Amino acid sequence: MSTLAPARGLPPRRAAGPLRRLLRGPWLLLIPAAVVVLALTGWPLIQLVIMSTQEFGRAQIFGAPPEFVGLGNYLDVLGDPAFWAVLGRSVLFAGANVLATMGLGIAIAVLLTRLARVMRTVVSIGLLLAWAMPPLSATVVWGWMFDTRAGVVNYLLSQLPGVDLIGHSWLFEPLSFFFVATVIITWQSVPFVAITVYAGLTQVPGEVLEAAQLDGTNGWQRFRLVTVPFVRPVLLVLLMLQIIWDIRVFTQIKALQTIGGVQEQTTTIGVYIYTVSTAGGNLGAGGAIAVILVLLMIVPAVLYIRSTLRQEES
């Protein structure tokens, strides 16, 4: 019994190395996207880190060479009580927005599954219009509605028995200021959550829900035990995005401060970075705060990735 010998003149076939297998595999298709992401995100982030280790002020903007200070900007920022006050305020504000946005978004998504086609189309169009409005325009409109002298909110509430809010300023007190900001941000964030969750709910198998109903479960039990596990990946992504978006909110807070808010008591981390970098003229310290914020926003991303890997393993 003979074996086939390799053809003469041809080199023996070698096993493909790791690099060759990588280039032949699906990773090759990710190279263009990776290059674009590194160019648009990685390089600016590197420049931000470099700036955060330098003394970079107005003189450097006009051409003076920056001075390397190492971790000096980070130590100054972390040793400033104002930074911790702003950070704590931002975390609490973001937490309130995330809870309101996710709760209302999921409720509206469930409602969309129960509406007829015509009403579902009308509600979807309304959600898209609210989502498409620029944040600055939305803030100006809501600022007019909460205006002290001519606001429709004060007028309508004053029509209730025993309520007199004519001349009441919603933006002067920090608590009511953040209430107005939460209304604006939630109003614009709920459409994205509602439409995304609704898309996930349409993928839940109907036969599974029918089987659970035959087993005697009520509506809440079916939603908690059957629907939520199917749409959990969607909910986790939305939760991560809302945390990142709400903790770095800038436009709505800055616009409301311009309308009538007290800046010292209502500044969040996004506005604080802007104030330190521009009004304070210290781009190095502003870069350090931005890097710290990036590190904080990495935390929910890491938690999401770990949760996804655990689900894939199980």
What residues does each domain of the chain span?
70-313
pLDDT at 237: 87
Residues 238/191, Cβ–Cβ less than 8 Å: no
pTM of this structure: 0.81
The H or E element that residue 178 is part of is helix 174-201
Contacts of 69 (CB under 8 A, 6+ apart): 53, 54, 55, 284
Chain center to CA of 147? 28
The residue behind tokens 């970079």 is: 56
pLDDT at 44: 86
Judge: domain 70-313, CATH 3.20.20.80. Answer: no
Residues 54/68, Cβ–Cβ less than 8 Å: yes
pLDDT tens across the length of the chain (314 residues)? 445 555 555 555 554 556 566 556 677 778 888 888 888 888 888 888 998 888 888 777 777 888 888 888 999 999 999 999 999 999 999 999 999 999 999 999 999 998 888 999 999 999 999 999 999 999 999 988 998 887 888 888 888 888 887 888 888 888 999 999 999 999 999 999 999 999 999 888 888 888 888 877 887 888 888 888 888 888 988 998 899 899 989 999 999 998 887 888 899 999 999 998 887 788 888 999 999 998 888 887 787 777 777 766 66
Ramachandran bin of 63, using left for φ above 0, alpha for ψ from -120 to 50, beta for the remaining angles: left
Contacts of 43 (CB under 8 A, 6+ apart): none
Q: CA–CA separation, 286 vs 12, rounded Å?
A: 61
Contacts of 103 (CB under 8 A, 6+ apart): none
Closest residue by Cα to residue 101 from 246, 231, 234, 228 = 246
pLDDT at 8: 55
Tally of CB atoms within 10 A around 161: 4
pLDDT at 100: 95
